[in-house]
Chains A and B, each alone.
Chain A
């Protein structure tokens, strides 16, 4: 049933515990927002989902596969900054989503033409076809993040990880990016994990909101214990639970 499964995950740097006993089951297509105070380990958790770091104990698996030891095609990622390649044009950045998988890192001949067509379709979808031949440095922050999301989706990942993707954008651009992401999700049914500082954004976009915090706190040694998921909030249906309980239990509907 669960698509991404996190089992008894602990992480510590040296003697300092960061995360302890994290358990999580995520169904395919769910949008998970991750919130919490600074230094509560939510970015560490994202890095472990990305397989950039290995947990000291426990395992994270996608669709029952083996735990990954390094980032790969299964996981797509968009960071707050530096998520696109500055030396490639916008179109080349999208094509890189397919081309980097090959042995030489480049596509040739018919495959290249097909990839370029698909890239143009993607650029159309993310609204960047008018700047296809420009370099990322000449784009605005919001356009760069749209490009980064488009590039990540081109590689067709199983899960998409967003690390404060809209943190550096102005409020207006942020709202239009929410719109963009919501539409894109409706089309692709992608499983998404998003770390954010913005609670409103987390509740607005997420199906579930996970709160990372330290359940135990030693005032003499604040670093003594790690954080874990302290709250798993169902944010669907505007955060009001049991709205669809009758869909789940048709017998109740008949009784009423």
Chain B
């Protein structure tokens, strides 16, 4: 039998999915063991048990100076920025994408501009944003918006254009106005794509968020990582990295669930 026609049975499939995670954990444990054997005060690869202790401390013990648990404060601040930025970007790209996809006038006027805009490297604009908007929340949210809106807009407008022309003509023969075609034919069909876009852009959004927090901030997950870097506190950094990964995974999972629940017609054919 050819390799392309072989697929693993259920228990083996689960084991295969877990294998890379286990391999990385074992590799880390071995590396940590070797370094700690040579120098018990080594900070570069703290033992897994140390990381666990640190994680429990970070999640439960309040800061001695402010009396707040910093990790939760950082999480709240970062999530607020992230969701604010992604939310604004999603709404903007939805409106622009619909306009470009449906109206030839908007397409002529905007699509070239959006295409050029999406080539601008957002991080290069970060200094400008800090100068214009100051060091507060605005600059960080605007960076996320600028970073992900153009490519979401390009994709959504293309999806609107991909709606079969027959459907648009059919809607016209049923007497639908431009507004009705936008609201009842195009919008429901690209909303699932919008959510898929948000899922794809969350990676870049986290990147822009952490970059902005690293440069200028006084709270946030990215800020904390770059702060404790000065003390070589690898246990704290690793806890934060795992926590961010978990948050990103949970958001992605929630959005996938939302797509399945909210758009039953997408799976009707399966």
Contacts and interface: CB of A to CB of B under 8 A. Distances in A.
Nearest to A73: B175
Contact of A100 (B166, B184, B268, B269): B184
B22 interface: no
B189 A86 contact: yes
12 contacts: A70-B172, A71-B169, A73-B173, A76-B173, A77-B169, A81-B166, A83-B166, A83-B167, A86-B265, A100-B176, A138-B268, A152-B174
B189 A155 contact: no
Where chain A touches its partner, the secondary structure class is loop
A106 B175 CA distance: 12
Given A96-B184, A100-B184, A137-B265, A83 B170 contact: yes
A152 B169 CA distance: 12
B169 to A, nearest CB: 6
A85 interface: yes
Contact of B268 (A82, A101, A137): A137
Nearest to A89: B265
B179 interface: yes
A137 B174 contact: no
Given A52-B169, A79-B166, A85-B167, 4 more contacts: A82-B164, A104-B180, A105-B184, A155-B175
Given A81-B166, A105-B184, A71 B265 contact: no
B269 A152 contact: no
A184 to B, nearest CB: 17
A48 to B, nearest CB: 13
B177 interface: yes
Contacts of A157: 173
B218 to A, nearest CB: 46
Contacts of A89: 265
Contacts of A87: 188-189, 263, 265
B183 A134 contact: no
A100 B175 contact: yes
A186 B40 CA distance: 93
Interface size on A, as a range, is: 35 or more
Interface in A63-106: 70-73, 75-77, 79, 81-89, 96-97, 99-106
A83 B174 CA distance: 12
Interface of A: 50, 52, 70-73, 75-77, 79, 81-89, 96-97, 99-106, 134-138, 148, 151-152, 155, 157
B255 interface: no
Interface of B: 164, 166-167, 169-177, 179-180, 183-185, 188-189, 263-265, 268-269
A86 B264 CA distance: 10
A52 B188 CA distance: 24
Contacts of B268: 86, 134-138
Nearest to B263: A87
Given A87-B265, A137-B265, A157-B173, A100 B164 contact: no
Given A81-B164, A87-B188, A138-B269, A103 B177 contact: yes
A135 B263 CA distance: 11
Contact of B176 (A82, A105, A152): A105
Contacts of B185: 85
B233 to A, nearest CB: 51
Contacts of B172: 70-72
A44 B263 CA distance: 36
Given A50-B173, A86-B189, A155-B174, A135 B166 contact: no
A14 B201 CA distance: 42
A157 to B, nearest CB: 7
A135 B167 contact: no
Contacts of A135: 264-265, 268
Report, nearest first, the 6 A-B pairs whose CB atoms are least far apart: A137-B269, A105-B180, A135-B268, A101-B175, A82-B164, A100-B176
A106 B177 CA distance: 12
